[in-house]
A and B are shown apart, each in its own frame.
Chain A
Amino acid sequence: MNRTGFLAWPFLAGVAALVAVPALAAATLAFTEFSGVQPPRFTGLDNFSRLVADNALWRSFGNTVIYIAIAVPLRLAAAVGAALLLNRHRAASTAARPLVYLPTVVPDVAYALLWLWLLNPLYGPLAAAFGFSGTLTDPWGARVSLAVMGAFQIGEAFIVALAVRRSIPRHVYEAAAVDGAGPWFTLSRLTLPLMAPVLALLALRDVILSLQVNFVPALLLTDGGPRYATTYVPLYVYRTAFRYFRLGYASTIALTMFVITALVVYVQYRLAKRWRLAA
């Protein structure tokens, strides 16, 4: 083993202890009936049969897909948009960059409570300024609100997009300018295609992230409502496990979602790869 490999051991041990072992344990529990109180009882594929017929779960899955469909493009557009706007070496850009990152470092609970006030149907500023009263009581209002809320926590994607934009050589733009390219042409035919490989990676990462980050807002802002519209898979798993004492079945859901996510990411990866090759 070389010296670099040796230095990786503490990290790998941490991953093994805090991620791999619990994940393996959860995967094992997926084949049991386990309430958390009595020892797990092996039930084979019973939990998977139940899962297929669990309408509430598939409704949560549908909600999660809707969340991803709204949140991922929003977050990506916000991150790339902010990166392009704040790319130049100007004092205002330099001052604004930390502001874009700022919401990302706010603790999730504090951030959710801030939005609880912003979205208050009667006394919140959004209701007062724009008359949005159904943000938390209308199913689509709540879905969009939670996705919009997530669109401000884009710090890491913003940094990556900014770095990629900066890596595009200046002479490429100078050549385009000489050829008479306008701003829209430059953006659509030059900047975005050159950033595309990394954007695809960011989209991939954001899909995975979006499967997890909606738990806190769904729990604190809407409690999964209204009409289950914001009961996403993580919240459903949490309730199944810790409110209804079905830790075994909750593990089955988590394992299934892991497999589905892996498949989606793999398909997305293949598509992105084919697209890059075609480009």
Chain B
Amino acid sequence: MRKLLSVGVAAMLVAPLACAREAGGDPQRPLRVQVSGEPEETKVYRTMVAAFEKDNQDIDIDLIEVPEKDEHLAKLTTAFAGEDPPEVFLVNFREYAQFVVRGAIEPYEGFLEANEVDLANYFPQPLEAFTFDGRLQCMPQNISSLVVYFNEKLFRQAGIPRPRAGWTWDQFADVARALTKGDVDGLGIEPSIIRLAPFIWSNGGDIVDDLEAPTRFTFDDPAAREAIEFIVSLVRDEGVVPTEEEVAAQDLETRFVTGKLGMFLSSRRDTPVLREVLGLEWDVAPLPVAEEPAGLLHSDAYCLSAGGDPDRLDAAARFIAFATGQQGQTITALGGRTVPSLKSVARSGAFLDPTQPPAHPEVFLQGIPFIRRTPVISTWPEIEDVAEEILTRAFYEDDYSVDRAIEELEAATTPLFEEAAGR
């Protein structure tokens, strides 16, 4: 009896594991594609998947939508740990390196020819960003840059004309001041590396000592320090940016939507949400310029999970070719979520749709030649998280100087740069 019970218990323990492996290897199982974003953003992926399934009756797609980026990454980690990852997942270029160095990604480069993908038709910046160890790892779907979203009604009421390309930092600060009245703040900007970087580059500075093999931040460089001080002064001295309490009470996007914010900096990802807001008059403008125009690359790509069944990998690669091809990118562009990485779609009516806000979508394209990127290293997400905490103090604490922030940033992040160098 005791032996029988032991066998039963052992069977109970092993059965779930066996089932997991069985399910993962089932050739008839739909391909899983995991994406993250707000419902307004992921709506376009549903449309695109439906179009793919219509054209490819032999392939079923199970679209996994995850609202938050952190949850998206956590779900991927557990899926890889359980040896049952989705065949395809969408990830930002700032976060994919940690998957590559751990062997989680099957380089897409090996599938280009079979799927007749001609890289010459794509903007080079995201392709370069998703190239690691000399190979194209994932296939980028978009190439957004940071822009200034602005409330046209508030601009009109303050008698401010729409910002033109090449507007200066002084003009930028003047506009923020002019918009700040009552419960309206002129500018919304988060204390993060990805918001500060374009200002540092525009001022002739740099964020790291070596983009390909960074060992430290270079915020102690005068040009970088001046850019940080400029933004911090807008927050602390000018008072044109919402306070920490105001942002905790209502995030920047919500403040913008409710007419409490004149401008805020973001990539294309806010467009689908803003389009849904009735009565909101808004448009986009390029970032202000100090010495030279500069923008930050925002790009997501479809990656193939490594180690899967070859037939399923081929099918997944076909899906990626569709999603990043003419038809797939047209659908996502029409939804407003992406600035297409495929040049022909970016210059088509699907993206430059005059009937849909923003009225000047070409702003996203005009910034492409000046787009730069952050380093592609495995510890970058952690570096960004650490930097955000320190920059938050620099933004909102009067007795926390920029110098101290720069010192603490260096101390806190240098070990992480070293860890990435050791892979």
Interface size on A, residues (CB 8 A): 30
B19 adjacent to chain A (CB < 8 Å)? no
Q: What distance in Å separates the Cβ of A66 from its nearest Cβ neighbour in chain B?
A: 18
Binds A, one of B77-85, B111-119, B139-147, B280-288: B77-85
**Distance in angstroms between the alpha carbons of A183 and B56 in the assembled complex:** 80
Contact with A along B90-130 (1 / 0, CB 8 A): 00000000110011100000000000000000000000000
Chain B: CB-nearest residue to A219? B70
Q: Determine whether the beta carbon of A13 is less than 8 Å from that of B12.
A: yes
**Distance in angstroms between the alpha carbons of A35 and B77 in the assembled complex:** 8
With a CB–CB cut-off of 8 A, which chain B residues contact A225? 389, 392
With a CB–CB cut-off of 8 A, which chain A residues contact B389? 225, 227-228
Q: Determine whether the beta carbon of A244 is less than 8 Å from that of B382.
A: yes
Binds A, one of B205-213, B243-251, B317-325, B362-370: B243-251
Q: A17-B12, A243-B74, A244-B382 are in contact. Are A37 and B99 (CB under 8 A)?
A: yes
A-facing residues in B380-406 (Cβ within 8 Å): 381-382, 385, 389, 392-393
**Distance in angstroms between the alpha carbons of A134 and B250 in the assembled complex:** 14
Contact with B along A216-242 (1 / 0, CB 8 A): 000000000111100000000010011
Q: Determine whether the beta carbon of A244 is less than 8 Å from that of B249.
A: no
With a CB–CB cut-off of 8 A, which chain B residues contact A121? 245-246, 248-249
| Main SS class of interface, A | loop
Q: A38-B103, A226-B392, A242-B78 are in contact. Are A136 and B9 (CB under 8 A)?
A: no
A-facing residues in B239-292 (Cβ within 8 Å): 244-246, 248-250
Chain A: CB-nearest residue to B183? A122
Among A123, A227, A241, A245, which residue has its beta carbon within 8 angstroms of that of B249? A123
Q: What distance in Å separates the Cβ of A137 from its nearest Cβ neighbour in chain B?
A: 5
**Distance in angstroms between the alpha carbons of A245 and B91 in the assembled complex:** 15
| A/B pair count, beta carbons within 8 Å | 77
With a CB–CB cut-off of 8 A, which chain A residues contact B250? 122-123
Contact with B along A194-235 (1 / 0, CB 8 A): 000000000000000000000000000000011110000000
A120 adjacent to chain B (CB < 8 Å)? yes
Q: What distance in Å separates the Cβ of B46 from its nearest Cβ neighbour in chain A?
A: 25
**Distance in angstroms between the alpha carbons of A124 and B250 in the assembled complex:** 11
A260 adjacent to chain B (CB < 8 Å)? no
Q: Determine whether the beta carbon of B102 is less than 8 Å from that of A35.
A: yes
Q: A16-B9, A122-B249 are in contact. Are A243 and B73 (CB under 8 A)?
A: yes
A69 adjacent to chain B (CB < 8 Å)? no
**Distance in angstroms between the alpha carbons of A161 and B8 in the assembled complex:** 40
With a CB–CB cut-off of 8 A, which chain A residues contact B18? none
Looking at B74, B81, B98, which has the most chain A CB atoms within 10 Å of its CB?
B81
Among B98, B102, B245, B379, which residue has its beta carbon within 8 angstroms of that of A134? B245
Q: Determine whether the beta carbon of A242 is less than 8 Å from that of B102.
A: no
With a CB–CB cut-off of 8 A, which chain B residues contact A238? 74
A36 adjacent to chain B (CB < 8 Å)? yes
Contact with A along B321-334 (1 / 0, CB 8 A): 00000000000000
**Distance in angstroms between the alpha carbons of A65 and B244 in the assembled complex:** 27
With a CB–CB cut-off of 8 A, which chain A residues contact B12? 13, 17
A163 adjacent to chain B (CB < 8 Å)? no
With a CB–CB cut-off of 8 A, which chain B residues contact A21? 13
A63 adjacent to chain B (CB < 8 Å)? no
Q: Determine whether the beta carbon of B77 is less than 8 Å from that of A13.
A: no
With a CB–CB cut-off of 8 A, which chain B residues contact A120? 248-249
Given A36-B102, A137-B245: 20 more A-B contacts, CB < 8 Å: A9-B5, A13-B8, A13-B9, A16-B9, A21-B13, A36-B77, A36-B81, A120-B248, A120-B249, A123-B250, A241-B77, A242-B74, A242-B78, A243-B74, A243-B77, A243-B381, A243-B382, A243-B385, A245-B102, A247-B81
Chain B interface residues toward A at CB < 8 A: 1-2, 5, 8-9, 12-13, 16, 70, 73-74, 77-78, 80-81, 98-99, 102-104, 244-246, 248-250, 379, 381-382, 385, 389, 392-393
Name 29 interchain pairs, CB-CB below 8 A, sorted by A. A1-B1, A1-B2, A9-B9, A13-B12, A16-B13, A17-B16, A21-B13, A36-B78, A36-B81, A38-B102, A120-B249, A121-B245, A122-B246, A133-B245, A134-B245, A137-B245, A137-B248, A225-B389, A225-B392, A227-B392, A227-B393, A238-B74, A242-B77, A242-B78, A243-B73, A244-B98, A245-B98, A245-B102, A247-B81
Chain A interface residues toward B at CB < 8 A: 1, 9, 13, 16-17, 21, 35-38, 120-124, 133-134, 136-137, 225-228, 238, 241-245, 247
Which 8 pairs, one residue from A and one from B, show the smallest C-beta to C-beta distance? A36-B81, A122-B249, A242-B74, A37-B102, A121-B245, A37-B104, A35-B102, A37-B80
